[in-house]
A and B are shown apart, each in its own frame.
Chain A
Amino acid sequence: MAVISRGFTGRSREHNPELPPGQYLTADFPVLSAGPTPDIDTADWQFGIRKDDATLHTWTWDELHALPIEDIDTDIHCVTRWSKFGTSWRGVSLDTLFAGVEPSDEYVMAHSYGGYTTNVPLEDLLGGKAWIAFEFDGEPLDPEHGGPARLLIPHLYFWKSAKWIRSLEMMPSDEPGFWEQNGYNMYGDPWLEQRYW
């Protein structure tokens, strides 16, 4: 039973069914990163998918942009409790990238330029649920928001949408990534409030 905080009435009282439990809406786009923002030249950029047998599929910046590009309009939810409705992105679906890659395992570790990692089940990347995104709101993605390209997995808390994405590595079992080793939930479903251990 929660204690009553004397004198507290609250402001954001309107119930919105689109807002996951414990979230509040923001019009800003907060930046949360564990370290400095990497400086990545698109001429040097490369994205790869590595299978358990060490097979590596790679795409350069130009090769990625030669693939079908999708517009994505979606809500995003951060574990620190802000949600942002109706964000618009452009990017390439993971379905497209995995079209020529026979999956070897059920789990994936996302690796970023700068060393960040986060784990995701493969099935959460497929079926129109995830993208490599490089535009936000009609502009190239800002470096502090993960530019030149980030993973976008809107149905999970946003720490799963790894900024500065570099590769996806298939894994035979689920292993914790960076924040997952530092207190955050292994899966991160906003609707189930899977925030912490």
Chain B
Amino acid sequence: MTERETRDAPPHRVGLWHVGVVVSTNTETPTGRSIVLDVPGWGGNLAGQHADVRLTAPDGYQAVRSYSIASAGDGDRVELAVDRFPTGEVSPYLVDELQPGDELELRGPLGGWFVWRPSQTESVQLIGGGSGIVPLMAMIRSHTASGSTAPFRLLYSVRTPDDAFFRSELDTPNPHLDVTWLYTRRTPDGWPRPASRIALADIEASAFAASLAPAVFVCGPTGFVETVANDLVALGHDPQRVKTERFGGA
């Protein structure tokens, strides 16, 4: 166990801006991609934390936004995954413009609540919608890298098969991770479940039961998270065990 894993709160070093260099990018979906950065001095992050990203124009104009981190653990390598928000100021640049070798600044890690630590032994239910998979992916990777045998399940809802982030990694067999895919607009050929939004019946059929008292992490657009969190409570999950992260307008 590292020193940081024993803490209840993140370290006091979010005030520092670090210069990150883009190592590689990978197109994940028609609107999103993952970005691997080398960030000297970063020093690692817990699974589920996020980072502030700062862009600076040649005339000094700056824009800062927060992004969930898809990677976890010690070291100075950070992976982000970003979905393009069409009218956004930062995400179109990160998805369409940024290239290997480019520099940007990061500050963090931020957030000490929506995190999973390898020292946790209880079952973990992850429920993600769209790019809401990003912090959950960090948990899955941390779980695998640590050799944890805590049972993990993921419900991942995407519009169509093309809209899945980290598809090949999630399709890799993992004895401690059970993945259920849900499609809201178009399914793969021959898929048994018709395309529709996640419903209580999906959670009841595929997620850990409330009686197992799993830790539950839900991340996605506001409407998705509201629906899922309400369904979880209706199914008997203790609200204190259901951690949520929402993005987008109401």
Interface residue ranges, A against B (CB under 8 Å): 2-13, 22, 24, 26-39, 80-81, 114-115, 142, 144-145, 178-179, 181-183, 196-197
Contacts and interface: CB of A to CB of B under 8 A. Distances in A.
Contacts of B242: 35-36
Contacts of B102: 5-7
B55 A10 contact: yes
Interface in B208-250: 222, 226, 229-230, 232-233, 239-240, 242-244, 246-250
Given A4-B56, A5-B57, A196-B110, A182 B89 contact: no
A53 B215 CA distance: 37
Closest 3 CB pairs of A and B: A28-B249, A36-B229, A182-B112
Interface string B148-187: 0000000000000000000000000000000000000000
Contacts of B9: 181-183
Contacts of B233: 36, 39
A26 B103 CA distance: 27
Contact of A5 (B10, B103, B230): B103
A23 to B, nearest CB: 10
Given A4-B103, A7-B93, 14 more contacts: A2-B62, A3-B104, A6-B103, A8-B63, A8-B97, A11-B89, A22-B64, A24-B63, A28-B250, A30-B248, A33-B246, A36-B232, A115-B240, A182-B10
Given A10-B57, A34-B113, A183-B110, A28 B248 contact: yes
Nearest to A6: B102
A38 B65 CA distance: 29
Main secondary structure of the interface of A (DSSP, over half): loop
Given A4-B58, A29-B250, A81-B64, A181 B244 contact: no
Contacts of A4: 56-58, 103
B84 interface: no
B113 A182 contact: yes
Given A5-B104, A114-B239, A183-B10, A32 B57 contact: no
Contacts, number: 127
Contacts of A39: 233
B14 A196 contact: yes
A182 B58 contact: no
Interface residues of B, number: 50
A3 B56 contact: yes
A2 B89 contact: no
Given A8-B56, A36-B242, A144-B222, A2 B105 contact: yes
Interface centre among B57, B97, B243 (most CB of A within 10 A): B57
Contacts of A3: 19, 56, 103-105
B44 interface: no
Contacts of A32: 246
B243 A37 contact: no
A35 B103 contact: no
Contacts of A26: 249
B61 interface: yes
A178 B15 CA distance: 20
B97 A81 contact: no
